[in-house]
Each structure stands twice: as C-alpha cells, then as structure tokens.
Amino acid sequence: MSDCKYFEYIKYDGEAFFTAVFLPCRDGKFPTVVCRSPYVRHTVNMTDSEAMEAFYGVAKEWLNSGYAIVY
C-alpha cells in the first residue's frame, strides 16, 4: 500500500512543533490516530527528512490498516 506523507511546523506560544502527517494515498475519509510524545530526543540532530523516516516506522502499520496518522 502506498502512502502520502508531509510535515509542517505548527506554532504555538512562540514555539514551533514538528508535526508529521501520514495519509493513505487514496481518496476518502480516514479514521485518524493522533500521537504526541515528549520522547523525541533521538530526532534532535536529524534532518526533517530523517525524522519523517523515523516516524514512518511507527506509522506504517496504521497506514496498512487504513488509518491516517498525525505525529
């Protein structure tokens, strides 16, 4: 199953939060899993692309079941 992914920085209270979005690549509405974790220290020295790949490891099982993921 292919998927679509992108990231953006959501700003809140002067801080920018890296947010990864993973969607099944097909039309329609999807149930969505929203994850937020303070345990992201391992991504501090990663590029945005590397962080996306790290988060994809968590998202791919949900994507394969037809869910969208926001991490």
> Above 60 in pLDDT, residue 6?
yes
For the question of whether the overall pTM of this predicted structure is more than 0.85, the answer is no
Q: In which band, very low, low, confident or very high, does the pLDDT at 49 lie, cut at 50, 70 and 90?
A: confident
Question: Tokens 């992201």 correspond to what residue?
Answer: 40
Q: For residue 16, which of 59, 48, 54 has the smallest C-alpha distance?
A: 48
* Alpha carbon distance 40, 55 (integer Å): 10
Phi, psi of 44 (to 5 degrees): -55, -40
Q: What is the mean pLDDT of residues 16-33?
A: 90
Among residues 61, 12, 60, 20, the alpha carbon closest in space to that of 37 is found at 20
